[in-house]
């Protein structure tokens, strides 16, 4: 135990630092101590319980809930957002949170993949500010957008807007999101610009994706990048609960393989795994099963969601799913291990 005189000095240093706001350098000069000694005394003051650190969580923040999500699902990061009632408010609030996250975490030179047909991502771009310094990033469209007369305009416009906001360059995917047959997809891949756009998907480092329920959103339905109701019913019978970039998975996160995969022009789940960060932005009751499946399959490693969805996710009973990875440094190997019990 520290001597009483040392305790007295700790208390004095702590008062000068925490109550009077002096810097360690100023305290060292005033008390004629070295700065390392001041630093050591401040640390000892905590150990001796002279100083007690209390973190007060501001209203509307949920640090413990976010940590619970990260631990349970092996996420790099989780953001839990308080939202008002209603679909429009949910989209607005999740979009604003995603905008802040991207503004504060985007590194220079990233290759940012953007899934254009997500209403939440549209809300994110609407909420973003121009970054103070260009990032030199490229923004890559990761799901085709040509279809209905308005579709290509929307997808291209959204990709270009985000590129301008981050001070980067837009890279478009000049093809539909869904084509009528695998043969039509093969024909489109003969186009040099389509091939070049698809090759860029391998280099995406940060992917921004919505998590879709089996029933398409109004925005996706209007795009023309959808499957017919009878095809969605086939997916439902196979156990599909949701999708990322129109790649469907079941409640356990396992991919639903079907001939429909051969008609999608966009990022595959395997390519999604190669990204350093895959940021899933989704919430609400309609999306709950899809979000849970995406987490169980580890198709996203950053989640931005609402409080109600987060509460349900942390109490979801254990269903014997695969063990969660602490991060995704080994994801390339993990793709090869997916058929094993622990993969």
Strand blocks (E) in 182-301: 206-209, 212-213, 240-244, 247-250, 277-281
Kindly tell me the burial class for residue 35, based on how many C-beta atoms sit within 10 Å of its own C-beta (0-12, 13-18, 19 or more): middle
The rounded radius of gyration (Å) of the Cα atoms in the chain is 25
**Distances from the Cα of 110 to the Cα of 13, 124, 177, angstroms:** 44, 18, 24
pLDDT band with cut points at 50, 70 and 90 for residue 31: confident
What DSSP character marks residue 180?
Answer: S
Reduced to 3 states (helix: H, G, I; strand: E, B; else coil), residue 225 is coil
Does position 308 have pLDDT exceeding 90, yes or no?
yes
CA–CA distance, 37 with 16 (Å, rounded to integer): 14
Distances (CA, A) of 296 to 184, 215, 324, 325: 33, 20, 8, 11
Is the CB of residue 279 less than 8 Å from the CB of residue 115?
no
Q: Which two tokens stand for residue 312?
A: 């349900």
pLDDT tens per residue across span 258-284: 898 999 999 999 999 999 999 999 999
Whole-angstrom Cα distance, residue 187 to residue 191?
8
Q: Which two tokens stand for residue 96?
A: 């604003």
Residue 72: which pLDDT band, with cuts at 50, 70 and 90?
A: very high
| pLDDT score for 58 | 63
Is the pLDDT at 334 greater than 90? The verdict is no
Q: What is the pLDDT of residues 185-237, one digit of tens each?
A: 999 999 999 999 999 999 999 999 999 998 876 666 666 556 788 999 999 99
The mean pLDDT of the chain is 85
pLDDT tens digit string along 166-190? 999 999 999 888 888 999 999 999 9
CA distance 105 to 102: 5
Could you tell me the residue ranges of all domains in the chain?
4-47, 63-337
Reported as a pLDDT band with limits 50, 70 and 90, residue 49 is confident
| Structural contact between residues 88 and 116, judged by C-beta atoms closer than 8 angstroms | no
Q: What is the pLDDT of residue 321?
A: 45
- Mark 79-94 as b/e (b = at least 16 C-beta within 10 Å): bbbebeeeeeebbbbb
pLDDT score for 307: 93
Q: Which class in CATH covers the domain with range 4-47?
A: mainly alpha
Q: Find all residues with CB under 8 Å of 327, minimum gap 6, and list them.
A: 74, 76, 301
Q: And the tokens for 329?
A: 């440094």
Right CATH for 63-337 from 3.90.380.10, 3.40.50.1360, 3.30.160.40, 1.10.3720.10: 3.40.50.1360
Strands lying side by side in the sheet with 212-213:
212-213, 240-244, 247-250
Q: What tokens appear for 151 in the block? A: 């579709």
């Amino acid at each position: 135990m520290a001597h009483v005189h040392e305790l007295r000095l700790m208390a004095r240093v702590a008062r000068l630092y925490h109550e009077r706001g002096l810097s360690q350098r100023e305290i060292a000069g005033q008390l004629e101590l070295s700065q390392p000694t001041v630093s050591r005394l401040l640390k000892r003051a905590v150990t001796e319980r002279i100083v007690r650190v209390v973190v007060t969580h501001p209203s509307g923040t949920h640090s413990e809930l976010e940590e619970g999500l990260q631990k349970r699902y092996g996420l790099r990061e989780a953001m839990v957002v308080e939202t008002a009632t209603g679909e429009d408010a949910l989209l607005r609030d999740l979009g604003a949170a995603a905008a802040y996250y991207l503004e504060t975490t985007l590194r220079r030179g990233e290759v940012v993949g953007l899934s254009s047909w997500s209403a939440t991502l549209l809300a994110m771009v609407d909420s973003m500010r121009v970054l103070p310094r260009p990032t030199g990033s490229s923004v890559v469209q990761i799901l085709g957008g040509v279809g209905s007369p308005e579709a290509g305009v929307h997808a291209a416009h959204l990709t270009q807007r985000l590129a301008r906001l981050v001070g980067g360059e837009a890279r478009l995917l000049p093809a539909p999101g869904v084509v009528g047959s695998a043969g039509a997809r093969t024909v489109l891949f003969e186009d040099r610009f389509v091939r070049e756009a698809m090759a860029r998907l391998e280099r995406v480092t940060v992917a921004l994706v919505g998590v879709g329920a089996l029933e398409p959103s109004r925005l996706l339905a209007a795009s023309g990048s959808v499957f017919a109701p009878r095809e969605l019913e086939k997916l439902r019978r196979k156990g599909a609960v949701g999708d990322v970039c129109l790649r469907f998975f079941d409640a356990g996160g396992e991919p639903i393989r079907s001939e429909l995969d051969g008609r999608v022009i966009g990022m595959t789940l395997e390519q999604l795994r190669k990204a350093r960060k895959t940021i899933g932005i989704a919430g609400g009751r309609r999306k709950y099963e899809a979000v849970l499946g995406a987490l169980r399959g580890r198709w996203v490693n950053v989640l931005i969601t609402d409080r109600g969805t987060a509460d349900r996710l942390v109490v979801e009973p254990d269903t014997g799913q695969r063990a969660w990875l602490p991060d995704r440094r080994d994801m390339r190997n993990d793709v090869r291990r997916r058929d094993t019990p622990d993969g």
